Structure 1
Amino acid sequence: MTQFNELLVKDKTIILDGGFGSELEKRAIDLDNNLWSASALIQSPDTVKEIHQDYLNSGAEILITDTYQANPKTFTNAGISEEQAFQLIDVAVQQAKAAIKASHNSAVVAGSVGPYGAFLANGAEYTGDYSLSSAEYKAFHRPQIARLIANDVDLIALETLPNFEEAKALAELLQDEFPLIDAYFSFSTEAGDHLWDGTKLSEAVAYFEPYQQIKAIGINCTAPENILIALGNIVPNTTKKVIVYPNAGEIYDPISKAWLTKSGPINWQQLVPVWQEAGADIIGGCCRTSPTDIKAIYQAAK
């Protein structure tokens, strides 16, 4: 049994980590480029490790690598060689593992893979407004997934998926070419009932039920108030673990690459037990959440 599966069979809520880009910004890492948080792998790998350690110290049991935007094509489009692009993916996994070792922790490492919309760097992960063939989606994602697996991640995290056809291609890719790796799928949704491309969340969740590699399924990067609605569409349609990790409820402008609103304090103590009761098994945070938020989620869940 893999370390991730050992975590899943425990009768308890599993704690995921939180936002990464905002933590890098707090440490004066320049993210105003198409590499976004992955640029920290070039600018300051040690900072990446420090953020992982902060999340471990806050109770996180799953660390997501700083590779959401780290598709090799994103790097090569920025003038970085393909060889260096793959080395930067290596660095991302190494920093997560180093944080776990330094913290004497037993957390697992999830290799983050963002959607094709993230590569477009125009906010398309929040619209799903793009279309490739299944073969093209597979060709785009294959090199990154292969390199993450070569670095011995515990699972692959397919995150912020707004496009049903892309998600289907990813499931086929894993099943046909990487059958030994576990994964979770997390969709992008505006209000908890549909993917951004219009597909019903309930239908998307049900579609992936036969894929045994997909150990958990859910949503991320939506406002906390949408989580309960989403759980109502996820839980009845799957026997898999259910994962939710909302953002801090702020509004993002993909053109200016800035957060336009500020959220007030989130009452995790109130929200988390409700989500647990509704069927959430894995809970964490996405954009603009912090180690302080994850600690509050951990305390509320335990």
Structure 2
Amino acid sequence: MSVNNPIAPLLADNRTLILDGALATELEARGCDLTDPLWSAKVLIENPQLIYHVHLDYFNAGAQCAITASYQATPQGFLRRGLDEQQSLALIAKSVQLAQQARADYLATHPQAAPLLVAGSVGPYGAYLADGSEYRGDYRLPQEEMIAFHRPRIAALAAAGVDLLACETLPSFTELQALLALLQQFPHLGAWFSFTLRDSQHLSDGTPLAEAIAALQGNPQVLAIGINCIALENVTPALQQFAALSDKPLLVYPNSGEHYDAVSKTWHPCGNDPHHLINQIADWQRSGARLIGGCCRTTPADIQAIAERCKA
């Protein structure tokens, strides 16, 4: 069975694929309290229509790909809230349906925008731990246990009809290996792999970037690779390393420019020009970025600015 690659046509003729922006911090800006181990997955239970409206706002801003609200949605996490596996898998499917409905409603009035994609978010094991370890990668699970952790969510996302998976904010080489092994069980489904980094040459767990990328090269299910949830000043040197090591399409969706304290779970300004993200787009494209969006603290206004800059 051949791998479905929905991003290839959107990257034809040297075009840039515009991803959406932050979900959780945008939900917080709209009144949600996410001081909870479930983070944005909590809103799937409490106010799913708000997630739909955020997706729709990103499509209205020019995004061509919505990333589902399943980053921290796992049967293991929902079990702590008293939900059984069937209820948990239904919520993961709900995350896909909300993005698909937003896409359908947007295309009903903007048919020329097609095709638009829905990427199923697969957050790392560290996100389930909710202790900031997705920025350290200092957790260890045997590969079979890691596969068992990720399998139910990926199966639910696939069954709900995502166009591809977004394996994102990955800090760990052993987790990367487990996800690649698991992906073989879904041979039609492609994924992008997006990492957190210790520096421009190492994953957060210290694995040399060259070793991680070598594991991805040549795999037809790996549709794009790159970085997300990264400070703006680290983007260009990291992209240059990726470009030197891989011929896969590169993606980047960094944070807004503020810095996150994973211990206090708070954001702190770092003195950047508020338009600094937009001013770096050309550098990222020169460094090979083909899929560009935003992560924490970015907004629909940021995605609109990125879309307009890339069109220009």
Shift of 1:206: 2.4
SS of the equivalent of 2:204 reads coil
Please tell me the residue identity of whatever aligns with 1:115.
P
Match of 2:28 in 1: 25
- Say whether 1:205 aligns with 2:213: yes
Task: With the length of structure 1 as denominator, give the TM-score of the two structures.
Answer: 0.95
**How many Å apart are 1:236 and its aligned residue?**
1.6
Shift of residue 2, structure 1, vs aligned partner: 5.0
- Following superposition of structure 1 onto structure 2, how do residues 110-189 of structure 1 map, counting pairs within 5 Å? 110-175=119-184, 177-189=185-197
Report the residue type matching 2:299 in the other structure.
S
1:288 and 2:297 are equivalent in the alignment: yes
Residue 205 of structure 1, CA deviation: 1.5
Q: Is the 8 A contact 2:73 2:92 kept in 1?
A: yes
SS at match of 1:47: helix
Matched, 1:258 2:266: yes
Equivalent position of 1:73 in the other structure? 76
User: Cα deviations across residues 143-175 of structure 1 (Å, max 9, x unaligned)?
Assistant: 000000000100011000000011011011102
Corresponding letter in the other structure for 1:44:
N
Q: CA deviation at 1:261?
A: 3.6
Query: What does 1:209-224 correspond to in 2, within 5 Å?
Result: 209-224=217-232
1:263 CA drift (Å): 5.7
Contact 2:171 2:197 in 1 (8 A): yes
Structure 1 residue 35: Cα displacement: 0.5
C-alpha contact (below 8 Å) 1:268/1:296 kept by paired residues = no
Give the counterpart letter for 2:294 in structure 1.
G
2:110 corresponding residue in structure 1: none
Equivalent position amino acid for 1:122 in 2: D
1:118–1:266 Cα change, 3 Å:
same
CA contact (8 A) 1:268 1:300 kept: no
What's the % identity of the aligned pairs? 48
Supply the AA of the counterpart residue of 1:62. C
Aligned to 2:282: 273
Q: Is the partner of 2:225 in helix, strand or coil?
A: strand
> Alpha-carbon deviation of 1:77?
2.0
Match of 1:63 among 58, 66, 73: 66
- The 3 A distance-change label for structure 1 pair 29 and 180 is same
Give unpaired runs (5+ residues) of structure 1: none
Gaps of 5+ in 2: 108-112
Residues 250 and 290, structure 2, Cα contact 8 Å, conserved in 1: yes
Identify the residue that residue 95 of structure 1 maps to in structure 2.
98
Question: Amino acid of the residue matched to residue 124 of structure 1?
Answer: S
Return the offset for 1:254.
2.8
Q: Deviations over 1:165-186 (max 9, x none)?
A: 11011011102x1111010000
Structure 1 window deviating more from structure 2 (277-286 vs 187-196): it is 187-196
Q: Are 1:38 and 2:38 counterparts?
A: no
How far does residue 55 in structure 1 lie from its aligned partner after superposition? 0.7
Tell me how large the CA RMSD over aligned residues is. 1.5
Corresponding residue to 1:237 among 219, 241, 245: 245
Amino acid aligned to 2:259? I
Letter of the structure 2 residue corresponding to residue 59 of structure 1: G
In structure 2, what is the Cα distance between the partners aligned to 1:273 and 1:262? 22
The answer on whether the counterparts of 1:29 and 1:43 sit within 8 Å (CA) in structure 2 is: no
Other structure's SS at 2:33 match:
coil
Whether the 8 Å CA contact 2:10–2:16 is kept in 1: the answer is no
User: Structure 1 2/203 Cα, relative in aligned 2: closer, same or farther at 3 Å?
Assistant: closer
Q: Which runs of 4+ in 1 moved over 3 A?
A: 1-5, 260-264
Classify the secondary structure of the residue corresponding to 2:280.
helix
